[in-house]
Every structure is written in structure tokens, then in C-alpha cells.
Amino acid sequence: MKIICDESCTSYHNPGHPERPLRIADTLALLRRQTELPIEWLVPEPVSDEAILRAHLPEHIARLRVPRNFDADTFHFPDVEKMARNAAGAGLLALECARKGEAAFSLMRPPGHHATRTESMGFCYLSNIAIAALHALATGTNRIAVFDFDVHNGNGTEDILLNQPGAAFFSVHEHPCYPGTGAAHVGDNCFNFPVRPFATREEYRDALSRALDGLRTFRPEIIGVSAGFDAYAHDPLANSPLEAEDFHWLGGELREVRVPMFSLLEGGYSHDLPELILAYLKGVDGK
Ligand SMILES: [Zn+2]
């Protein structure tokens, strides 16, 4: 397993905000001390303008340099552009690993799946997964699927990939919940699988299974995963029921699709995030 991380991504924070540096620092500590999963560590390069501009408008990059908050929970930081470029660059490196047949996980912040073509929102500044998907399509991949199991709908990914030839988007999420989107399928390639708040594990797994069926039907050459761990039963930001063994199961199911895949960290705000990530990665690794 390749894990892509630049520890400088823990250098910014807003006191009390759930998207905090410890998410990464604690996960790094666990992954370094565990011995079950062999890991090769990689450091990303910042993403280029060329790659960003497939997914975002030039004005969006310029806005990252304006020292004003984006919304009530998406703050401006002095280094926000650099941080966002590193996280998006990690997505591209994960894609390249997958193309070489190596499963890869980007352990970075900020997350990306709420950032639309024109807007930073929901703790997200650049759409890391959409940038990677469009880069894949621009550099030789014909069919890419994005599978998003963060508890929140990936509205930004959908905004950018909507009706994009060669791309399909599958999102399983609690609904109604932030950001309010994702009640039904959109366009000809965005497939939403809403799950009611306070659903049972069986209901949630059923939605994940239906999304996986859709993913297999699409017959992707490569899968990019928006891996959010906030559908966890003890996550403070949502009301969903999953346990560590469900993330392990999901990693195994994605592995069983038998095409190259890479995963990017999105949400997940509980103190158990490191264990949830490790469970998922063991599933992806077939352990
Ligand atoms: Zn989330």
C-alpha cells in the first residue's frame, strides 16, 4: 500500500474546528506503529494550474489568494492555496500509483469533494478527486468512476463531473444532511444513493451495495474513491451507523471490482478515524 502524505498539511487550523490537524497526525501515528499492513510512504508535489483548470475556473484560483473566509465553516488561511495544491497533487500521485497497479491512499487535508467549479465550501477548496478524474481522462484513461462514501453528498464532484464523457460518479450519503444535495440521480452519469438519518447498518450497507452494482455496470478502467469516514456510528457530524468492520468490508468490495483504484481522504471527524482508515486499507489490501 502506498500512502501519500506531506506532514505540512497539519500546519493550519482554526481552534475548535472538526477538520483538525490531529485527524492526520493521529492516523500517521497509528499507520507507522502498526505492522499488519506494509506501507510505502510517498510525498506529493503541488498540482499545476493546468490540472486545476480542468476542474475549476481561473477566478476560483484567484479567490484562494483573497484573505476572506469562504463560508461559516470554510476559513481562509495564509497558506490555503499551497495546502489545497498539495492535497490535489497527492490525488494525482495516487492516480499514477494506481495506473502502475499499486493501491494508493492520499492521507491529506484539506478534503475536496464539496468544492465546486467556482466555490470553496464545506472545508474544501479544490476538488481533489475531480481534478484527478479529469487528469486521468486527459492522459489516456477512457472510463473512470468516482465512488464517494463520505456521509455527505459530493456536490462539488458532481458539479464538475456532471455529463462528463468517460466519467461516472456514485455517491452514497446521509440525506437530508449537509449540503442538502444528492436526493436523486442527476444528468446521465451522476448516481446518488441517499440513506435516511438514523438508518440501520443493513440499510446503509444495502445502499453501498447498490452503488457498487452501478459501479461494476459502468465498467470503469480505474476507480477513484472519495474516502470519507463520517458515516461512522460515533462521528460527531452525522447520524449514520457504520462500524470499522463496515469500512473493512467496503474496502474489500472495491478491491473485488478488480480494476486499479486509488483513494483520497475526505471527511471523518471522530477520535477513531485512524482505526477506521486502517480497517478500510486492510480491506483494500485483501487482508
Ligand atoms: Zn463528510
Cβ(151)–Cβ(158) below 8 Å: no
The alpha carbon of 197 and the centre of ligand 1 are apart by a number of angstroms equal to 14
Among residues 34, 38, 43, which one has the least CA distance to residue 1?
A: 38
The alpha carbon of 152 and the centre of ligand 1 are apart by a number of angstroms equal to 4
Among residues 237, 233, 238, which one has the least CA distance to residue 276?
A: 233
**pLDDT of 227:** 99
The alpha carbon of 265 and the centre of ligand 1 are apart by a number of angstroms equal to 10
**Which tens digits make up the pLDDT trace of 187-241?**
999 999 999 999 999 999 999 999 999 999 999 999 999 999 999 999 999 999 9
The C-alpha cell at 219 is 465498467
The alpha carbon of 143 and the centre of ligand 1 are apart by a number of angstroms equal to 26
Angstrom distance (rounded) from CA 269 to CA 235: 6
- The answer for 76, left when phi > 0, alpha when psi is -120 to 50, beta otherwise, is beta
Handedness of CA 138, 53, 224, 171 (dihedral sign): negative
- The DSSP secondary structure of 138-168, one letter per residue, reads HTT-S-EEEEE-SSS--HHHHHHHTT-TTEE
Confidence band for 116, pLDDT divided at 50, 70 and 90: very high
pTM, entire model: 0.98
The alpha carbon of 140 and the centre of ligand 1 are apart by a number of angstroms equal to 30
**pLDDT of 278:** 98
The alpha carbon of 122 and the centre of ligand 1 are apart by a number of angstroms equal to 8
Place of cell 495506473: 99
The residues carrying an active-site annotation are 114
The alpha carbon of 110 and the centre of ligand 1 are apart by a number of angstroms equal to 12
Q: What's the burial of 61, exposed, middle or buried (CB within 10 Å: 0-12/13-18/19+)? A: middle
**pLDDT of 180:** 97
Residue range 78-88: average pLDDT? Answer: 97
* Coil, helix or strand at residue 100: coil
Angstrom distance (rounded) from CA 183 to CA 192: 7
**Which tens digits make up the pLDDT trace of 15-64?**
999 999 999 999 999 999 999 999 999 999 999 999 999 999 999 999 99
Residues 6+ away with beta carbon under 8 Å from 83 = 8, 9, 11, 12, 77, 109, 110, 125
